[in-house]
Structure 1
Amino acid sequence: MSSDSDEYGLPLPESCIIVGFGGVCVDLLATVTCFPVPDSKMRSTQLKVQGGGNAGNALTCAARLGLKPRIIAKVANDIQGRALLEELEVDGVDTSFMVVSKEGTTPFSYIIIDTQTKTRTCIFNPGEYPPMKPEDLHSTNLVSILAGSKVVYFDGRMLDTAIVIAQEAWTEASTISKALVSIMLRLPKLKFVIVTLGKDGCIMLERCVDDISSLEEMDIDSTFESLSKREDDTITMPTCIASSMMRFRTKGEGCMCGRLYIGTAEKIPPSKLIDTTGAGDAFVGAILYAICANFSPQIMLTFASYVAATNCKALGARSGLPYRTDPCLKSFTH
């Protein structure tokens, strides 16, 4: 941690610079008392226009928590695009390397929030400008934007690249926990893998640096089941349960040495749950901060789940994102 951390607020990591690449867009959010049926008319109870997009949301979260994000994305030179740039800059996201198309329209999403069922439906419009291509970025710019960065984040929006990654990591495992082991075995440089499960929390598998053959060998599904039984349904705030270090096996793929974690989500009362838009992006942004701050896996998962839940108590993907000095984060400041 940096020695100049404030007496209050989250600690400022020594390495604060991160880089994000992916989507930004304008979110047009409308709340309704119930989801509309086909061929009907209804009034919204609230309307909000706000920046969105996975990369934009995650980096906004990271910036509010104290990091210094740089974003690589593309917008059009229209009112919406300029507003997106301004909004990101106000939150502390460096937009110096954004690509601005002279023509076309900036992407946007229609988001309908059903206040009765507490669900939202998103309709994405990709805009009418050429998508970002490698030639949009010069090699000198890439050297500059990556200089001093601690983490680089990709939101998977660029389909061609996402397909290559998916094909490399793809697994036919019958369960999520088995899939995590399979991915770690196929990608030996990965330190950990996290899968988010919405209201059911998340699962994380961490690799042990040294393959200790003397450790107990366990079936990953049995370990997951055992940890799940230890969850306390009476606790409303996020928690994290960890296994001991062990060797996990999958059929036909061998073993890996690691630790399994189950993170629970906050149980938000219906009266406080407003909108789940961007909850996953908030989780990612908090994970980026936790990595830079060297949080332990248990604290990292608990922290990320708490930030994601906090964001669900306001309308839109960014309205509820906490700042590093927010009193709600006090328990994570030391």
Structure 2
Amino acid sequence: MTGIVVLGSTNMDLVAFVAHAPERGETVTGREFRTVPGGKGANQAVAAARAGGEVAMIGAVGSDAFGPQLRHTLESCGVDTDLLRTAEGPSGTAHIVVDDEGGNAIVVIPGANGTVTALAPGEEALIATADTLLLQLELPLSAVLDGAEAARRHGVRIVLTPSPAQPLPPELLAATDLLVPNEHEAATITGIADHHAAAQELLRQVPEVVITLGSAGCLYAARGTEPISVPAPAVHAVDTTAAGDTFVGALAVALGEKKPPRQCLAWACAAAALSVQRPGASSSMPYRAEIDAAS
């Protein structure tokens, strides 16, 4: 089993399915609405657990009706929620529009996630037991830094998904072992549109980078080695929500099992390809047997 701790957000996704996303000032009629547990942190936790990892979650849900639902979803997937806090007030929500091409537009309201500004008692000790700490940027940056510093003190691998894209403090990059942006985030961080060139620029700041490229797969680059490009399986995308989180969760499991880099990447691409063929975030994530069969 792989020891993975996720420090991150937990949201209820409020998803509207439409033929095309509305332009500014436009009203469109949707064909379906769903509430689906999500949040980048919780998504990565569920993805890793379904892929066979031993996973614990650090973050917060609200005292509203969504809070128990979000906690139950994590627990039902085998994620340890002993240190998942309950904050007074609303849980985080993500308001998502999904079009018929599988593309999405998202507005995130932090809610309880915004109360997680630093590690609480017991959380560093939990991080210290892990092989890998998964971080994203939907919590306050002070908490992300706190988690990264704790992991660094205990020699725990840090995998950072820099989303939503924003300027990254040098001390966070200095602590990061593996950075996993998508191509848009890589371009935002570096100012370089070409993902090969962006990867080389990012290697000035972190030792390893994986840039996810949607239907084109991913690009892996590490200092002192030749880059590796891995294609994604050709599939019909229904909903791309949380495909990147599925990739990261599966990748963390494969890395913990010390698979070779190309095999880790192909396995993670297969997991993400399975997820985009189903609607929703956590609800779309594949189980280990499915990933094995598809990779």
TM-score (norm 2): 0.78
The C-alpha deviation readout for 1:34-63, integer Å capped at 9, x for no partner, is 333555555432222111111110110100
**TM-fit CA distance, 1:24:** 1.1
Aligned to 1:262: 229
Task: Give the AA of the match of 2:289.
Answer: T
Whole-Å Cα distance in 2 between the matches of residues 120 and 173 of structure 1? Answer: 24
Aligned to 1:58: 44
Task: Give the AA of the match of 1:176.
Answer: H
The answer on 1:131 being equivalent to 2:115 is: yes
**TM-fit CA distance, 1:284:** 0.4
Whole-Å Cα distance in 1 between the matches of residues 69 and 172 of structure 2? Answer: 37
Whole-Å Cα distance in 1 between the matches of residues 209 and 96 of structure 2? Answer: 30
**TM-fit CA distance, 1:182:** 3.7
Whole-Å Cα distance in 1 between the matches of residues 51 and 120 of structure 2? Answer: 28
Whole-Å Cα distance in 1 between the matches of residues 245 and 32 of structure 2? Answer: 23
Identity of aligned residues (%): 26
Choose which of 281, 285, 294 in structure 2 pairs with 1:321: 285
Aligned to 2:196: 177
Task: Give the AA of the match of 1:281.
Answer: D
**TM-fit CA distance, 1:321:** 1.1
Choose which of 207, 221, 237 in structure 2 pairs with 1:205: 221
Note if contact 2:16-2:33 (Cα within 8 Å) is conserved in structure 1.
yes
Count, aligned residues: 257
- The two structures, once aligned, show a CA RMSD in angstroms of 2.5
Aligned to 2:155: none
Whole-Å Cα distance in 1 between the matches of residues 205 and 114 of structure 2? Answer: 35
Stretches of structure 2 lacking an aligned partner (at least 5 in a row): 146-166, 175-188
Note if contact 1:205-1:261 (Cα within 8 Å) is conserved in structure 2.
yes
TM-score (norm 1): 0.70
Going from structure 1 to structure 2, the CA distance change for 1:90 and 1:39 (only over 3 Å counts) comes to same
Note if contact 2:47-2:282 (Cα within 8 Å) is conserved in structure 1.
yes
Note if contact 1:105-1:129 (Cα within 8 Å) is conserved in structure 2.
no
The answer on 1:114 being equivalent to 2:99 is: yes
Deviates more, 1:103-112 or 1:83-92: 103-112
Choose which of 58, 74, 94 in structure 2 pairs with 1:88: 74
Aligned to 1:246: none
Going from structure 1 to structure 2, the CA distance change for 1:56 and 1:39 (only over 3 Å counts) comes to same
**TM-fit CA distance, 1:201:** 1.9
The answer on 1:152 being equivalent to 2:136 is: no
The C-alpha deviation readout for 1:140-171, integer Å capped at 9, x for no partner, is 4421x124311111112333547314885765
Whole-Å Cα distance in 2 between the matches of residues 184 and 39 of structure 1? Answer: 42
- Richer in helix (by share): 2
Stretches of structure 1 lacking an aligned partner (at least 5 in a row): 1-12, 208-256
Aligned to 2:20: 34
Note if contact 2:60-2:112 (Cα within 8 Å) is conserved in structure 1.
no
The C-alpha deviation readout for 1:100-144, integer Å capped at 9, x for no partner, is 11x2111101111111x332111222227752122x502x4421x
Name which one, 1 or 2, has greater alpha-carbon Rg.
Answer: 1
